[in-house]
Amino acid sequence: MNLVVDIGNTRIKQAVFEKGKLLYQHQFEASQFLEKTKSVFEVYPNITDAIISSVKPLQNKEVELLSLFCKVHVLSASSKLPFFNEYATPQSLGVDRIALAAAAHCLYPQKEVLVIDAGTCITFDFVDGHGAYLGGSISPGMMMRYRAMHQQTAKLPLLEPLETKGLIGNTTETSMHFGVINGIVCEIDGIIDRYQAQYGYLTVILTGGDVHFFEKRLKNSIFANSNFLLEGLNFLLEHNKN
């Protein structure tokens, strides 16, 4: 039984897998790490291995705590990968993108896969049909765009994301909502179109915390999977156990 720990920019996710099947997942604030870690081992005492992935500097205390309960693998650029990493600067590749590429290769072998992660940033990651990770792109996420408009102007308010539909905003607030949401939708659809023009048939995965804002608005066919990164981390743990 495996424990997957994903430390993101805003929250921490924990997931338990057994023989590749997701049994449990939960997300919480960083301050709850000790409490939540103890409780997950109380409920799942058969956990023998864990992987921890962090997009920000990892605290030793988090690794030390997990090590009290089981064997721990800290995901890094030196971890063994199930795919060929052709990124020009592999040491700078984020562990979240490594996990997404692993899931793409392991779940869709011999296929051209584009993974779009709509989170703090929006990342596009491409794995080709030969199992090679080629790279992708990074752009500002939804909340980052709202904050930028507020912080870089004198009068625009700071808004919370709102699931609105439309094209023409008739107030400042609706204009901002439509600008952010429609802008991201057009960006995602446009990039998918360009990949398809270059590589032909494409499997497109949409994941991340903001997936629900976009999955029904895109004109392109996609598979929405909010657990894609967690599944990738579990594949990486299995690949690094020995």
Decide whether 2-74 matches 84-233 in CATH topology.
Answer: yes
Statement: residue 82 has pLDDT above 80: yes
* Annotated binding-site residue? 96: yes
Q: Which pLDDT score, from 0 to 100, does residue 164 have?
A: 83
Question: How sure is the predictor about 163, in pLDDT bands with cuts at 50, 70 and 90?
Answer: confident
Q: Which residue has the higher pLDDT, 59 or 14?
A: 14
* Annotated binding-site residue? 125: no
* Annotated binding-site residue? 155: no
Statement: residue 58 has pLDDT above 90: no
pTM of the predicted model over 0.75: yes
Q: Say whether 96 is catalytic.
A: yes
Q: Which pLDDT score, from 0 to 100, does residue 27 have?
A: 93
Which residue is listed with tokens 């609105």?
164
* Annotated binding-site residue? 87: yes
- Indicate the domain borders of the chain: 2-74, 84-233
> Could you tell me where the beta strands, DSSP code E, fall in the chain?
2-7, 12-18, 21-28, 49-54, 71-74, 84-85, 113-118, 121-127, 132-140, 203-207, 223-224
Question: How sure is the predictor about 99, in pLDDT bands with cuts at 50, 70 and 90?
Answer: very high
The mean pLDDT value for 18-22 works out to 95
* Annotated binding-site residue? 172: yes
The answer regarding whether domain 2-74 maps to CATH 3.30.420.40 reads yes
Which tokens is 194 given?
């360009």
Statement: residue 59 has pLDDT above 80: no
With a pLDDT cut of 70, the percent of the chain lying above it is 100
Catalytic residue among 49, 96, 128, 210: 96
Question: How sure is the predictor about 123, in pLDDT bands with cuts at 50, 70 and 90?
Answer: very high
Q: Mean pLDDT over all residues of the chain?
A: 94
Statement: residue 10 has pLDDT above 80: no
**CATH ID of 84-233, from 1.10.1040.10, 3.30.420.40, 3.30.1120.10, 3.40.50.720:** 3.30.420.40
* Annotated binding-site residue? 97: yes
Q: Which pLDDT score, from 0 to 100, does residue 91 have?
A: 94
Between CA 117 and CA 142 the distance in angstroms is 11
Which residues, at least 6 apart from 177, have a Cβ–Cβ distance to it below 8 Å? Answer: 159, 161, 162, 164, 169
The mean pLDDT value for 105-126 works out to 96
